[in-house]
Amino acid sequence: MVCSALKTIRSIISLPSSSPSSVVAVKDMISSLVKILNGSHGENKADNNNRKQEVSLELLHAMASNNEVNSLLSSGVLDAVASLLGGGTLSGKMTHLGLDIIEFIISDIDSTNPVMMRQFVNDMASQEQFLRALIATMVATKKYVGDKQIFVSPLYGTPLLLPEDTAGNDLRPTAAEDKAINVLFDISSLLCSDVSCVGKEHFLHAFMLKDLRGAAAETVSLATCIFLEILMDENNGICVPQNYPANRSFFLDVKLPIVRSQLLEILSLSLDECMASSNNSSRKHAETLIFEFKIPQLCLLFCQSQKLFQASFDLYENAVLPLPINVIGDLLLADKSSLVALFDLVTTGRNNLVQDSEHSKQAFALTLGNLAKAGFLSTAVERFGVRNNAIAALSAAMQGSHDETIDENEDSLPRICVESLAAILRNNQQEDELEINALEARAMTTAIGKILSSTVLNRFFTQASLETTFDNSVDHSFDRSAISQSPEARLLCSMASFPETLEMLRKVGGLEAIGLIAHEGELAAIRAIQKACEISPTSVVDVDAHLSIMDALIQVEYKLVSTNPSDICKLREVVAKCIQIITTLSQNTETKSAILSAEQSFGCLTASACIISASSKLLNQKSIPVEKDITSVDKCHIRKTEKAIDSVGKDTASLGNSSEDLQLGDLVLVDSTSSINLSSPLKSSQNNDVEGIVAHLGPVKFAPGDDWIGIRLTGSSVGLGRNDGSVKGVRYFDCGDSDKNGVFVKRNNVKKQECEVEFEAKKETKIQVEMATEDYDMPRVETQHEQIWDCLLSNDDFTLERASFSLLQSFSSSKPHRDLLMKTETVINDMMSVIQLHSPSLTDFQRNALDLLVSLTLHLHKPDVKLTTLFCSVVESRTKVLQTSRDKRLLYSTKQLLALAISGLENTFCAFMDADDKSRSLKIASDLFVFLADSLFKGPKSRRLAASMKDGVLFYHLSSFFVLSLGSESLRASILSIRFVSSLIRFIMMTAGLTSFDCQIPITESEGGEHWKAALSHCLYCLSINMAQSSQDHLGISYASLIADTEASPKSFQFCLKHIADKKLGGASSISAKQILAKLERLPVS
């Protein structure tokens, strides 16, 4: 009967009525319906009772649809319906009606209205079972986690029985399940927004099952993950309002962040409990959820929202950071957005208002650092193309740390950032080098150039302080090497690879720091210094970087002793670039004095000389035995050396000959102002000399070079020394009881006692004779230093040797360095030996060696038989090459060698040759001239058209050499022949500049025109001087007849001379041409 009445009321409830009596009736009716719902709660559910509940719910549903919400909330409908739904198993229809009613009620609750909120919170305070039923319903919608089912204890209770919906499937909730989830979200957002926090406590109490230990933690963590996953869709998600934009905005800005924040807190606690559990399955469960629900990505995403930052960061710190780095890498580096978010969170961006943001940045940076160390970061950066993001973020993080230097603590933010940057910029082909472009370098220099420079400088200064404080016998090279190979040092060097950034770094101390790095032989730093030399050489010297480069070169010798074979190529480049830098600075007028005055300059010269000597020995050994050009020139060398025995007491300082030969036990005098080990002067003595006995000869470990002399002081000099015969723990000789009785000096600061000088000089000269009598085979004195340098040499690349020659050439302008080089007999002899080899592959080396020797002839103080012989031998042998070879490249290089050899003969002709040597050298040179001039004149026109600057240079030196002979009648006569005079005439006709002559050589300024013109002037002068009656008598033919036999057509030579004489420019050529014309008129024709 009650059911019939309720149905009757339901049929008329939809009729509108606004009369007071109608409102009162509705309230009374709601009260009655609530009593029906409450009265049946807990009682035996007979069918009749269930029917009354269903009809009551239908009536309440209709009233809620008519906006009688206030009456429903205040009348306890929410409490009654929630109790009914959570209290037992209802039909699907009743559950759906109940959820609708609750949704109607809470959808219009104003969270800012304290009265309504208090009523709502009070009603929900007793509905923990209902809330858990909603949560259980939500959990039941997730049938699979990933590709497998996951089982947890059903601690939330039984899910609500919902009406069947064919639209549902195993992957997505049905519409009825959506309704339950939506109600759960609405209730959660209202409870969590309660300002009194009572509602929040009710929510947490229901969701967290009171106690998170054991299975509860697993269940809660799964439910939280599912809820968060459902809320991820902010556009078309289950809980997103779709009808009104205002509701949607309120949902996104207020409701969603509130619920998410609480869920993140719950998830952090529950996962932490699982991970800390002693139960293996709990830990496995947590790892599964983290991986399948992508918790790390979720944290990074939510950390970018200030409202969710703290909760999501706590979750990240508690649940993500403890994971193995490979798991974190698989999750965070799976997509571009997560990686970009991680970089963004390391900087001081939108999160700088978050409390303790430095701690959070540190944590995110730690993740980056670990990923970088594991090798995952650089790969991901390259894969997603976020290199610029990474550089900008990490640089900004370092800049924002406000630290002046980078702490060595591996967990500090700047340290992590700099190591991550280095990992990202690492060159895939050469992992020890960083790859960076100009724009990146500029950006990083602006942001972190100062902190990197300050860090490197500070670390080197600290290390220097430690080295002076502790035992000097300790090898600190490994500590300095660690600094130079640190990420900050490598970054600094890479940034300095560009002119613009190099200047920026110089202003903040970067160039000074790079100089210190270069001191340890780091290739990237040396390259940067080389770049600085090209831009501003003075800036390199201003920060003493040139000294670092010189030290780096000298130290290579010691590194070679124990270096790994795989590092040889790198060391070779280090040496080559160091030598190039030193040479560049020594050739600059503003920096030359700084290089040549440096103490290390002698060590650099010695290193270059050792390289040349070692290379010479290897080339001699590898070359197939060749036929040496031993002609009358070499035989003369033997005779000349024998004559030197008679001049033993005279000055013996000549190129390649040492003045004395010391042996162990010799009594010597030492200049007390000379440099010894560690560059410390000897204690003063009355006459500036101290005496002692030679106790050690040869190389030492504390300094480069093989000309060190260890001396045990004797007599009045006892006690004036510097050591006891040992340096830095290495003993070279014994000084007895005295610890200040030993010194080490360079060979040029030692002289024997006077009584032995003559004997030793004779002995040395006899050795020279023996050398000369063995087919001019130069001595090959193997030294430990040269053997060490051997491994740096390349079979097919003479870059190192070429650089060494350039340095020696440049240093030879300084008298002290030149004297040291000229006394280095081994190097000179080795070079001379290689110059005489015949191999096209050696021409580059031979040209450089010959050029160096020629330059040294300008500083000879006495005749040097070996050099004269060498130059003549080169001219003779290379003339044969010109006569027989058709290889253009070989001919080109041969002409270069010939020009240098003739230049050397010029330098030694007047002062250091006797009459025989002069005649012989002139004869060899004249034969070469005749061959060259005739081959051009008589050859095809294409040969004259192909004449180059090298031909002009060679003719210039030949003709200049002939001019030197004009002061002596006998010398002129030695080369005066019909062939020679004819060749002079032919050369004049070819170079006169007459385009009408078929024999003309086209001369242009770009192709060495000045050399051709100078050679023409020399030839005209030679012909003019030799055009005399005595010359005609010597030749046995008149000049008129000789000219007629030589010229191609009658009077063509006279026409040529008149053309030269009539040139407006005049000059020596014009004058000589006029003299020749005048002499031709006067000389008899027969």
Looking at residue 42, what is its pLDDT? 44
Distance between CA atoms of residues 847 and 857, nearest Å: 15
Of all residues in the chain, the percent with pLDDT exceeding 90 is: 30
Across residues 760-778, what is the average pLDDT?
36
1079/304 Cα distance (integer angstroms):
102
Tokens for 191? 């409870």
Amino acid at 122: N
Whether 262 shows a pLDDT value over 60: the answer reads yes
Check whether 980 has a pLDDT greater than 70: yes
Q: pLDDT band for 678, please (50, 70, 90 cuts).
A: very low
CB 348 within 8 A of CB 400: yes
CA distances from 922 to 641, 918, 927, 1035 (A): 21, 6, 9, 17
Measured CA to CA, the distance from residue 923 to residue 925 in angstroms comes to: 5
How far apart are alpha carbons 76 and 121 in whole angstroms?
12
pLDDT tens digits for range 991-1022: 988 888 888 888 877 767 889 999 999 999 99
Per-residue pLDDT tens over the stretch 797-817: 788 888 999 999 999 989 999
The answer to whether the CB of 612 falls within 8 A of the CB of 849 is yes
**Averaged pLDDT, 350-368:** 73
Average pLDDT over residues 907-919: 87
Reply yes or no on whether the pLDDT at 35 is more than 80: yes
Beta bridge partners of residue 434, listed in sequence order: 426
Percentage of residues in the chain having pLDDT higher than 70: 83
Report the pLDDT averaged over residues 730-740. 78
Q: Looking at residue 740, what DSSP letter applies?
A: S
Quick one: which of 8, 214, 186 has its CA closest to 105?
A: 186
**SS3 at position 630:** coil
> In degrees to the nearest 10, what's the CA dihedral of 473, 479, 480, 486?
180
On the question of pLDDT at 282 being above 60, the answer is yes
How far apart (Å, rounded) are the C-alpha atoms in residues 372 and 377? 5
- State yes or no: pLDDT of 172 exceeds 60: no
Please, which residues have CB within 8 angstroms of residue 938's CB and are 6 or more apart in sequence? none
**Could you give the CA distance from residue 120 to residue 117 in angstroms, rounded to a whole number?**
5
What is the three-state SS of 122-150?
HHHHCCHHHHHHHHHHHHHCCCCECCECC
* Pairwise pLDDT comparison (169 vs 520), residue with the higher score: 520
- How confident is the model at residue 595, as a pLDDT? 95
Q: Is residue 594 within 8 Å of 542, Cβ to Cβ?
A: no
Q: Give pTM, 2 decimals.
A: 0.69
Q: Could you give the angle at the alpha carbon of 908 between the alpha carbons of 907 and 911, nearest 5°?
A: 115
Nearest to 704 by CA among 819, 577, 606: 606
Given a cut of 70, is residue 404 above it in pLDDT? yes
Give the range among 8-17, 158-167, 973-982 with minimum mean pLDDT: 8-17
Q: Which of 190, 72, 207, 199 is nearest to 130 (CA)?
A: 207
Tokens of 44: 């035996």
How far apart CA 492 and CA 473 sit, in angstroms, is 31
Q: How far apart are CA 537 and CA 590, in angstroms?
A: 8
Does the structure show a pLDDT above 50 at 631? Answer: no
Q: Is the pLDDT of residue 850 over 50?
A: yes
pLDDT over 90 at 443, yes or no: yes
The DSSP annotation for 285-303 comes to: HHHHHHHHTTHHHHHHHHH
- Band of the pLDDT at 756, cuts 50, 70, 90? very low
- Type of residue numbered 300: L
Q: What residues contact 126, with CB distance under 8 A and at least 6 apart?
A: 79, 83
Kindly report the number of other CB atoms within 10 A of residue 82's CB atom.
26
Three-class SS state of 312: helix
| Highest mean predicted confidence (pLDDT) among 74-88, 346-360, 410-424, 470-484 | 410-424
* Residue 638 confidence (pLDDT): 38
- Whether 276 has a pLDDT exceeding 50, the answer reads yes
| Residue-level pLDDT at 20 | 52
What Rg, from alpha-carbon coordinates, does the chain have? 49
- The span from the CA of 1055 to the CA of 1060, in Å, is 9
**pLDDT value at residue 604:** 93
Lowest-pLDDT range, 143-152, 387-396, 587-596? 143-152
In our burial notation (b when 16+ CB lie closer than 10 A, e otherwise), range 908-935 reads: bbeebbeeebbbbbbbbbbbbbbbbbee
Q: Is beta strand 689-697 parallel, antiparallel or unpaired with respect to 730-731? A: unpaired
Helices (H), 408-544: 413-425, 438-469, 477-484, 487-495, 499-507, 510-519, 523-535, 537-542
Query: What is each CA distance from 457 to 69, 410, 454, 509, in whole angstroms?
Result: 75, 19, 5, 8
pLDDT number for residue 471: 56
Q: Report the C-alpha gap between 370 and 328 in whole angstroms.
A: 10
263 vs 829, higher pLDDT: 263
For residue 546, the model assigns a pLDDT of: 94
> Cα separation of 375 and 381, whole Å?
11
CA torsion, points 1018, 1022, 1025, 1027, in degrees to nearest 10? -130
Higher pLDDT, 297 or 15: 297
Confidence grade of residue 778 (pLDDT, cut at 50, 70, 90): very low
Q: What is the pLDDT of residue 48?
A: 60
775 versus 280: which is more confidently predicted? 280
- Residues 928 and 959: their CA atoms lie apart, in Å, by 11
Give the separation between CA 285 and CA 214, rounded to whole angstroms: 12
635 confidence band (pLDDT: 50, 70, 90): very low
Question: Is pLDDT larger for residue 648 or for residue 968?
Answer: 968
At 673, is the pLDDT very low, low, confident or very high (cuts 50, 70, 90)? low
Beta-bridge partners for 711: 694, 743
**Mean pLDDT, rounded, for 481-492:** 91
Q: What is the mean pLDDT of the chain?
A: 81
Work out the average pLDDT over 882-906. 90
| Alpha-carbon span 620 to 1067, nearest angstrom | 48
The DSSP symbol for 731 reads E
The pLDDT assigned to 873 comes to 92
pLDDT in tens, 121-164: 888 888 889 999 999 999 988 877 766 677 778 888 888 877 76
- Helices 545-562 & 523-535 angle (0-180, nearest 10): 150
pLDDT at 686: 44
pLDDT in tens, 57-80: 888 888 777 665 455 777 788 888
